[in-house]
Amino acid sequence: MKNSYLEGQFDAVVIGAGHAGAEAALALARTGQKTAMLTLNLDSIVFLACNPSIGGTAKGQIVREIDALGGEMGINADKSLLQIRMLNRGKGTAVQSLRGQTDKNVYHQFMKKTLEETENLKILQGEAVEILVENGAVTGVKTAFGGILECKAVVVATGVYLNGSVIAGEWKKNAGPNGFAPANELTANLVDLGFNVRRFKTGTPARIDARSIDFSVLEVQDGETDVYPFSFMTDALPQKQTPCYLTYTNEKTHKIIMDNLHRSPLYSGMIKGTGPRYCPSIEDKVVRFKDKDRHQLFLEPEGGNTNEIYVQGMSTSLPHDVQKAMYRTVKGLENCEIMRYAYAIEYDCIDSLDLYPTLEYKRVENLYCAGQINGTSGYEEAGAQGLIAGLNASLKLRGEPPLVLGRDDGYIGVLIDDLVTKGTNEPYRMMTSRAEYRIVLRQDNPDFRLTEKGRRAGLVSDERYAKYLQRKADYEKATALMQTAYKPKETEKLLKNHGFEVAQKSLTVADLIRRGIPLDEIILEFGGFEGIDKHILSTVETDAQYEGYLAKALEQVEKAKKLEERILPEDIDYLSIQGLRIEARQKLDKIRPRSLGQAGRISGVSPADIAVLMVYLKK
């Protein structure tokens, strides 16, 4: 090969060092695979290019699931926390989610150090320009410098860097986020390998100098110290936390936006990529929700050693002069000084329907894709895919069965199933409403659902597993104590305090909880549960409160599992099956579902088509 040299020989190469790339590299290296992680810039490793936070609605669940499987995101977030809160406290436990403000520079530094100190892992700065393939399988990666990294597996985790274009008003530049260099050559290679490439778009708001903000007129949002951390490996949260602030747009803001809409690349046609419906720009919000006279904004610190403040809720690609005028209409920001202007970024990504549930590409063996290249948005979604892709690449190299999480196993299972079964035509964002078993997939219990799976895959360390076993023992002890029964005379006082009649029979602790009496009051009255962690007590209390709903959900899970267990042969000729509608034949042939259950979730495949498949399988 001309102008090339051998850079090194590896078991696996990870292209990209964002949240997906980092988790993939760690999963591979920690399970014994000699791994190289290729990044455009060492200074951009797990860079928080958008908001300086980890978690959020449904995303908090994903972070704790990554942690339960042996991943790093939760540990790293806890190390760099400025503030942490539990979202949706006023709603049911199933939709409550952790969200932490992180110091973006500290987050980068800690993860970079972790990667650098990981055995079996080499980090290399350089641009991947070609994935080398022979006889339908991966053999290596070529860099722009001509270096050849020979390997048996590749994980592509390029984020928003593929042919990245940064746009603000009439200005457009081929670049990655935050001024980092883009990756311009790999897309052509992906097309040659048969990938269907699309163009997506995302954006970010301005960063404002804290010294130019009048915080005295803003609503303060403090952190919370009574919640658990992201990681089961973290012993304590910081008691001193940095506040965020709340403010709103107004009619003046909206007028400036509407008056300059013709200069917005979103509406002028300059932006061609599809943007995220669930995280729209401020101009999109003003146009789509004309009945609203204001939109909520959060002012979030970017770190403990910088004056930069992130204006959450005000992403835009309007020209800089319009941005300056627009931001200064907001209460508290009248004299604000912008340090980094907002921008939109367009990038290349693939059609996730071209992937198996393991995240392996269907047309090239041992080639995996993870993160925003699969059409998702968000650090957490990326990290989850990176972990699963890296772990599956490692399992395959070790000759072990793959790790495929079901929709009843975790939000990660829902995320990947949605991607490879339904696909996405816009940047995909996880939400609690996407998970039909969310009452089971709470963020207080991911270790009970996933840690054994992570251990079998070789990723959960001895230390982590010991902590899990202790939590499991405490949980089982607490669950048994929930069945402790008390006679009517003993429960009379508690019941009367909560407006209930005296019981006619003995009641268990669980019975009392279902009547609305808090567990801490029951413990105060009767004692018991000594030495059991308060977060375990919260979990068993939730189990008791939702016992009926949990039973129904688990019943539905068992029914669904019967269809998931009906594995479909890989060589089925769907196009020739009589009785299937033409659309169903085409969709089944393209996606090639793993099971009857997955087939039933494909858009365009009806229950009647599933019935035809069941008859076909019996034959």
Q: Whole-angstrom Cα distance, residue 395 to residue 386?
A: 14
CB atoms near residue 2 (< 10 Å): 4
pLDDT in tens, 67-79: 999 999 999 999 9
Whether residues 372 and 298 fall in one domain: no
Please choose, from the candidates 366, 341, 344, 347, the residue with its C-alpha nearest in 3D space to the C-alpha of residue 356.
366
Residue 484, token pair as written in the block: 């402790």
Whether residues 278 and 408 fall in one domain: no
Q: With beta carbons less than 8 A apart as the criterion, state whether 72 and 234 touch.
A: no
Whether residues 176 and 293 fall in one domain: no
Whether residues 333 and 357 fall in one domain: no
Whether residues 519 and 444 fall in one domain: no
Q: With beta carbons less than 8 A apart as the criterion, state whether 354 and 363 touch.
A: yes
pLDDT in tens, 140-187: 999 999 999 999 999 999 999 999 999 999 999 999 999 999 999 999
Range of the domain at 536: 463-484+510-557
Q: Is 173 domain-assigned?
A: yes
Q: What string of DSSP letters covers 27-62? A: HHHHTT--EEEEES-GGGTT---S-SEEE-TTHHHH
Whether residues 10 and 128 fall in one domain: yes
CATH of the domain at 372: 3.50.50.60
pLDDT score of 273? 80
pLDDT score of 1? 47
Residue 144, token pair as written in the block: 């722009």
Overall domain count for the chain:
4
Q: Is 494 domain-assigned?
A: no
Helices (H) and strands (E) in the chain, counts: 21, 24
CATH of the domain at 594: 1.10.150.570
Please choose, from the candidates 337, 109, 78, the residue with its C-alpha nearest in 3D space to the C-alpha of residue 212.
337
Q: Is 502 domain-assigned?
A: no
Q: Whole-angstrom Cα distance, residue 345 to residue 494?
A: 59
Q: What are the backbone dihedrals phi and psi of residue 488, each rounded to the nearest 5 degrees, phi first?
A: -50, -40
Q: Is 493 domain-assigned?
A: no
- pTM over the 0.85 mark: yes
pLDDT in tens, 244-302: 999 999 999 999 999 999 999 888 888 878 877 777 899 999 999 989 999 999 999 99
Q: Are strands 308-312 and 207-209 parallel, antiparallel or unpaired?
A: antiparallel
Of 321, 344, 367, the one marking the end of a domain is: 344
Of 344, 360, 382, the one marking the end of a domain is: 344
- CA distances (Å), 525 to each of 493, 509, 519, in order? 9, 11, 10
544: left (phi over 0), alpha (psi -120 to 50) or beta: alpha
- With tokens 């305090």, the residue in question is 497
